[in-house]
Amino acid sequence: MGRNMINQKITAADCHPLQNKQYAFACISLLIILILIYYNSFQAGWQYDDNVNIVDNPNIHLKTLTWSGIRRSFSGINPGPALDNRPLSYLTFALNHAIGKLHVVGYHLVNFTIHYCTAMVLFLFILRTLQLPVHRGRYDGNAYSIALLSTFFWAAHPIQVTAVTYIVQRMTSMAALFYIMAMYCYLRGRSITLPTPKAFWFFLCGLSGLLSLASKENAAMLPVSLILYDLLLLRDKGRINAATVLKNLIAPFFAVAIIGFFFCDVHRILAAYHSRPFTLTQRLLTEPRVMLFYISLLLYPLNSRLSLLHDIDISITLWEPWTTLPAILICLGLAVASFFHHRKNPLIAYCILFFLLNHLIEGSLIPLELIYEHRNYLPSMLFFLPLVLFFMRWLEYVESNRAMTRLSCFGLAFLLFSQAHTVYMRNRLFQDETALWQDIAEKAPGLSTSHLNLGKCYWNSGFFQEAMEEYRTAALLNRFMHQDQYGMLYYNSGLYHAYCRKDYLAALRLFVKALETHSGHPQIWYEIIRSLAMRREYKQAATYADKALHHWPEHAGLLSVASVVFFQKGDMERALISAGKAVAENPHSIMALETMAEIFRKKGDLERSLSDWKRVVNLCPQDVRTILALIEVSSLLGNRALQDRWVHDLDNLTCARKPASPNKCIEIALQAADLSSYTPDTVVLAAAIRDSRSRIGIPSRKREYRPPGNIPLLGRY
């Protein structure tokens, strides 16, 4: 009988003459509002974990849509062929890269579309939930308004910014989209008595659930959410008791646990606590306080309280800090109260349990970071529904008082506008990496991670001393979120010694320490190889190059620096292969192009050497060393016109009033140059420069050289 009532109720709702217009209004109004508050997010750049998961991840850099490339994208950031836990998310990143490379607009458009679709499915799910017979017509007149308002509050809430604007958290929004889609399909399937459409909706439910799990692991709670929804909202309330609830929930919980045991390496997961600054017990004690902090952010989302990273004290015992035990009791109290009041308010009970339940995966045993705002994207889907129900009841209570009604509606509109404005302001921060990390460092000054990443931003902007100050602060605080971040501190400090102080021995020691704690980053291997090569320790550099290329055989930077090392060792064949692969991966690999040019020069193919050096000079027209190489090759070819041209360009680069002597030009190039396969032949060059100067009428006089001041410090590859 209950099923027939559900079917009759939903069928009647579908036949309502205003239904299509209402759906159209919901669709269009939600789209317009989300575009208005998120349009400034489309130019937000790559941030934090975007780099390791997308920008520097060769597995998702598809060149052609082949099955082997698609299968490789499933590996995520793993160097080997093993499947990652989020293959569908990484596949979408790979398709984005295949279409638009690393242009951020395409990635943001996909993220925005996912967020909009999620909001629409959530609206439909809430609307049909409010029309269920269990409510006995309580929301018939207001179901549409309640569903739409609840969806607006969720979709336009500032806490969702890190799941929408932060590109890599597409994993979170995709999982939520398929999760709520599975719940909507289950509801439709339970509302139909005919076997064929019922089977169709249940098939869509199962498919959506699998897609959700393939997007992110927290979708594992879907079976429990569905069983709980069925018990509280789809069955006759009179038949529900504690034994029924436990009996129906034990099976899905055990199913999730068994699947997790067989498909997850539990020992590896627990062993990961060695790289965290907290233990399993401390994490379990801390998470209830995190949960209450999430609730406070949802209720009071000021811009000053929102951040990509949060600094929260770890709970050592039940009494340290003193808020630990009260937080645990409050969370348990919410769950128990929801269970004991489910007959009176089944919808509110389910909303509370849904929030708590869907925080379990990321808020319990797994050694993840303690707190991230994007983790609320899925759990908060029904968070605002009880609040909107309370508001509607308040409007009914003050219905006779027009002034109070208008004031209440104005207050609600002001809250929505405030949320939208905060979303807009948060999106602006994501447009500038330095501004974002300055904001994070102000809000979480006690975290080493904040200062580490702010120092990285300063370094990339050329403020090297400021960067080192931030690195020193990070080291003194000694509060990193993961052991790998110690490796990044060593790495960043090593960059300062390598590129600013030219102290390659000190840099090498720091890079090796970085490798001990963070061996999975190819850039660390690159800097070790480069530092060894700058110290002319080519044999050891080649050993590191072989190991690095074994893990990242298509990494352009590693291939470039390896080509120089093999060239200097005299292994021309491997040098040419590595340089060719580097240029194929990245046509702007200057170091690889230089190596190819020098290999062909040594082989006697001067025309090919000249062609490759011209490609280099097009990429860096003000590099003195490149101009010298072109003069030398032109001289060997006997092409005086080209030789004169490059000498003229050399004098334009190095002259203020009078040209430097040939030997001084070579000395300048050797001092300013980065790692390169090219070693100037001083005899050939000096003769060529004097010859061209005499021919084009420039006197060759010695002078004190003043460098232009814009020689790049960072390595070129």
pLDDT for position 703 = 39
Compute the average pLDDT of residues 529-538.
Answer: 92
* Distance (Å, whole) CA 440 – CA 304: 10
Compute the average pLDDT of residues 329-350.
Answer: 88
Residue 24's DSSP bridge partners are none
DSSP states along 186-236: HHHHHT--SHHHHHHHHHHHHHHHHHHHHH-GGGGGHHHHHHHHIIIIIS-
pLDDT for position 403 = 86
For the four alpha carbons of 12, 341, 379 and 274, in that order, the dihedral sign comes to: negative
* Distance (Å, whole) CA 176 – CA 170: 10
What type of residue sits at position 252?
P
* Distance (Å, whole) CA 492 – CA 498: 10
Give the global pTM.
Answer: 0.80
Question: What count of other Cβ atoms lies within 10 Å of the Cβ of residue 227?
Answer: 17
Compute the average pLDDT of residues 341-364.
Answer: 90
User: Of 307 and 58, which is predicted with more confidence?
Assistant: 307
**Token output for 598:** 């020098």
Instruction: Estimate the crossing angle of helix 195-215 against helix 87-100, to 10 degrees.
Output: 70
Report the candidate in 305, 297, 296, 294 with the shortest Cα–Cα distance to residue 439. Answer: 305
- The percent of residues in the chain predicted with pLDDT above 70, rounded, is 86
Q: Provide the pLDDT confidence category of residue 348 given band limits of 50, 70 and 90.
A: very high
Q: Provide the pLDDT confidence category of residue 236 given band limits of 50, 70 and 90.
A: low
Model confidence over 548-560: pLDDT tens digits?
A: 999 888 889 999 9
User: In terms of residues, how long is the chain?
Assistant: 717
pLDDT for position 79 = 62
For residue 331, the Cα-to-chain-centroid distance in whole angstroms is 30
Average pLDDT along the chain: 85
User: Of 245 and 379, which is predicted with more confidence?
Assistant: 379
- The percent of residues in the chain predicted with pLDDT above 90, rounded, is 48
* Distance (Å, whole) CA 717 – CA 711: 15
Q: Provide the pLDDT confidence category of residue 600 given band limits of 50, 70 and 90.
A: very high
Highest mean pLDDT among 52-66, 180-194, 396-410: 180-194
Model confidence over 153-179: pLDDT tens digits?
A: 999 999 999 999 999 999 999 999 999
For residue 163, the Cα-to-chain-centroid distance in whole angstroms is 10
* Distance (Å, whole) CA 137 – CA 231: 19
Q: Provide the pLDDT confidence category of residue 281 given band limits of 50, 70 and 90.
A: very high
Residue 316 has pLDDT above 60, yes or no: yes
Residue 577 has pLDDT above 90, yes or no: yes
pLDDT for position 715 = 32
Q: Provide the pLDDT confidence category of residue 641 given band limits of 50, 70 and 90.
A: confident
* Distance (Å, whole) CA 109 – CA 175: 17
Per 3-state DSSP, the chain is made up of helix, strand and coil in percentages (nearest 5) of: 75, 0, 25
Compute the average pLDDT of residues 123-142.
Answer: 88
For residue 44, the Cα-to-chain-centroid distance in whole angstroms is 12
Residue 629 has pLDDT above 50, yes or no: yes
